[in-house]
A and B are shown apart, each in its own frame.
Chain A
């Protein structure tokens, strides 16, 4: 006992590596049948960890009585928090609502359908304690429909990995653990929860991936469809452009207009040398140079937008200070 105490006073154990409390965030939507086993299994798993914890369920406007079912469990599980949203806002806003309420040093996110296994949470925590900023689950033996779920997911993962160089096989796994300061740098809106790993990588987080269990849906309805693949592609492109524009918008906007500059020069030169009666070539040349100019001007506007952002949003990269107490 005394030995342990002495070692904890030893110089400079960076506070990053010592999580003292734990929040689990679970967005739920029409999961009345899963509510009780979900809370029970999660609580059982969390009690083995030995840290103070809280379980935050975010009800995303369920119509089947999920919030009431959850609240009735609060007597037995006082660590259970039920955040009820005004209506159905979607998975990303619901997740952000939970992250905003979370108070733990480590925040674990999970799906509300029990396809993830709460027994994997302690493993994720171990990796965080060992120094990772983000630990993502990698579903083994995935229990989902092949055509509607697995193939789109495989395709999306390949695309994301190719475009962003994120070292993760399974982006879509909801079971993930984060350090608090990583989560507090994120702002999830629209459908951005799918790119949460890309976003955390953008702030310089150390990312790990560990295999986790995956079960088929025991009860309730799946809420996914194939239409999301299209949105994934559009969002991914946006995200890529955003993270790159961040540093140098003028350059990137000008690059967008560059083909027009080339076109303007080519048609301009052709117009001069051909010296034809037609006004087609000079007109095309003028038009193209106008478009290039307006692209460049848009880039300058982008600079203004980034310049005027408040300090809180500017320095977003995670840093570790060595030698500090």
Chain B
């Protein structure tokens, strides 16, 4: 099965995952370029084309590629349209390589950058991704990217410049541990970092054939914003929801209580009209109610964690060093 190129033992089995989602360039051309790069670093490799439901034409091309090289090319067709994260989660499960690469189905970072990403893994990193430099984009695109990356690094507490880049290389165990769903592929490096893996950004040039759309549909921006909000919450408050909800609740609650207190005092002192003539009373009640709601939601979150996440651990052990002779016997309780 393995066709060892006869070279050094350093060369490994690799899987290249290409999720065909959102948009795609000419897969034949792309495949040629990627295969050329991957052959440099991997003794044996496989390609997994993860084709989202709506890409009929691309599916045919992928199947045609597979006919030429059925041993190295696998095609996974999803029954419905899926996100990159869903496609990758499935791909990670089915990939057979020790090192996994992900590449977009369109020209983006230079295909040869896979080699650089692999070299960084060799030097000890667990996940590396391509930071696309020399992007020949206009100011509109550049501003969008800059805003997203600034917000993302703030939301995740990491300092990466091109978090959303789809060209990545990672070790198998990293892929196994990252919970990937929804649109979280954009934060994959941040998720890995949070689990205590060594994540590195490798600056690479952009492919001359890269074509990104200038602006997206309005709803895309709204989804992005919500993604940032969820990743922010998950990064800082997963185990302590009440710290966030309680803080927000306290702020609203205080505002509401202050209004009610002022209106009430004025009424008692006989200043101004009767309560029936003070519409601000409605605002005060609303704010106070909102504050209490914040608290109740936070408390429900705490209850949920306390009772259902007892097995969840916040740490990840990288290694345990122990001498075999002198350890106490293992126990199961």
Contact = CB atoms under 8 A, between A and B. Distances in A.
A175 B299 CA distance: 32
B216 interface: no
Contacts of A181: 333
A155 to B, nearest CB: 20
A256 B197 CA distance: 42
Which 7 pairs, one residue from A and one from B, show the smallest C-beta to C-beta distance?
Answer: A86-B196, A78-B326, A87-B196, A291-B289, A309-B307, A93-B315, A93-B314
A283 B323 contact: no
A313 B309 CA distance: 9
A249 B303 contact: yes
Interface stretch (B69-77, B145-153, B164-172, B271-279): B271-279
B31 interface: no
Interface stretch (A6-14, A109-117, A210-218, A299-307): A299-307
A257 B314 contact: no
A260 interface: yes
Interface in A262-306: 263, 270-271, 274, 276, 278, 280-281, 283-284, 287-288, 290-291, 294-295, 298, 301-302, 305-306
A97 interface: yes
Contacts of A53: 328
A100 interface: yes
B270 interface: no
A100 B307 contact: no
A74 B323 contact: yes
A180 interface: yes
A100 B310 CA distance: 12
Contacts of A85: 196, 315-318
Contacts of A71: 321
Interface residues of A, number: 71
Given A74-B323, A256-B295, A270 B275 contact: yes
Given A83-B319, A295-B292, A295-B296, 16 more contacts: A23-B328, A53-B328, A54-B326, A86-B315, A97-B313, A234-B246, A241-B302, A242-B306, A256-B295, A260-B292, A271-B276, A284-B282, A287-B289, A298-B299, A305-B303, A308-B308
Given A74-B321, A85-B196, A281 B328 contact: no
A286 to B, nearest CB: 10
A89 interface: yes
A82 B314 contact: no
Contacts of A100: 313
Contacts of A61: 196
A256 B291 CA distance: 11
B304 interface: yes
Interface stretch (A34-42, A158-166, A183-191, A317-325): A183-191
12 contacts: A82-B322, A86-B196, A100-B313, A234-B242, A242-B303, A253-B296, A263-B285, A280-B275, A283-B282, A287-B282, A294-B296, A313-B310
A265 B302 CA distance: 31
A81 B327 contact: yes
Which DSSP category, helix, strand, loop or mixed, fits chain A's interface?
Answer: helix
Nearest to B284: A284
A215 to B, nearest CB: 28
B313 A93 contact: yes
Interface residues of B, number: 56
A94 B315 contact: yes
Contacts of A291: 285, 289, 292-293
A305 B308 contact: yes
Contacts of A220: none
B303 A245 contact: yes
B299 A288 contact: no
B333 A180 contact: yes
Contacts of A288: 285, 289
B190 to A, nearest CB: 13
Contacts of B325: 78
A82 B12 CA distance: 30
Contacts of B277: 278, 280
Contacts of B320: 81-84, 101
B281 A284 contact: yes
Contacts of A263: 285
Interface in A62-93: 67, 71, 74, 78-87, 89-90, 92-93
A54 B321 CA distance: 13
B124 interface: no
A306 B278 contact: no
Contact of B292 (A74, A82, A256, A280): A256
A92 B278 CA distance: 50
Contact of B321 (A84, A253, A256): A84
B315 A306 contact: no
Nearest to B327: A54
Contact of A96 (B240, B243, B314): B314
Contacts of A260: 289, 292
Interface in A1-32: 21, 23
Contacts of A274: 274, 276
B317 A278 contact: no
Contact of A306 (B297, B307, B314): B307
A103 B240 CA distance: 29
The CB with the most chain A CB atoms within 10 A, among B306, B320, B333, is that of B306
A172 interface: no
B317 A103 contact: no
A305 B282 contact: no
A96 B300 contact: no
A315 interface: no
Contacts of A256: 292, 295-296
A84 B314 contact: no
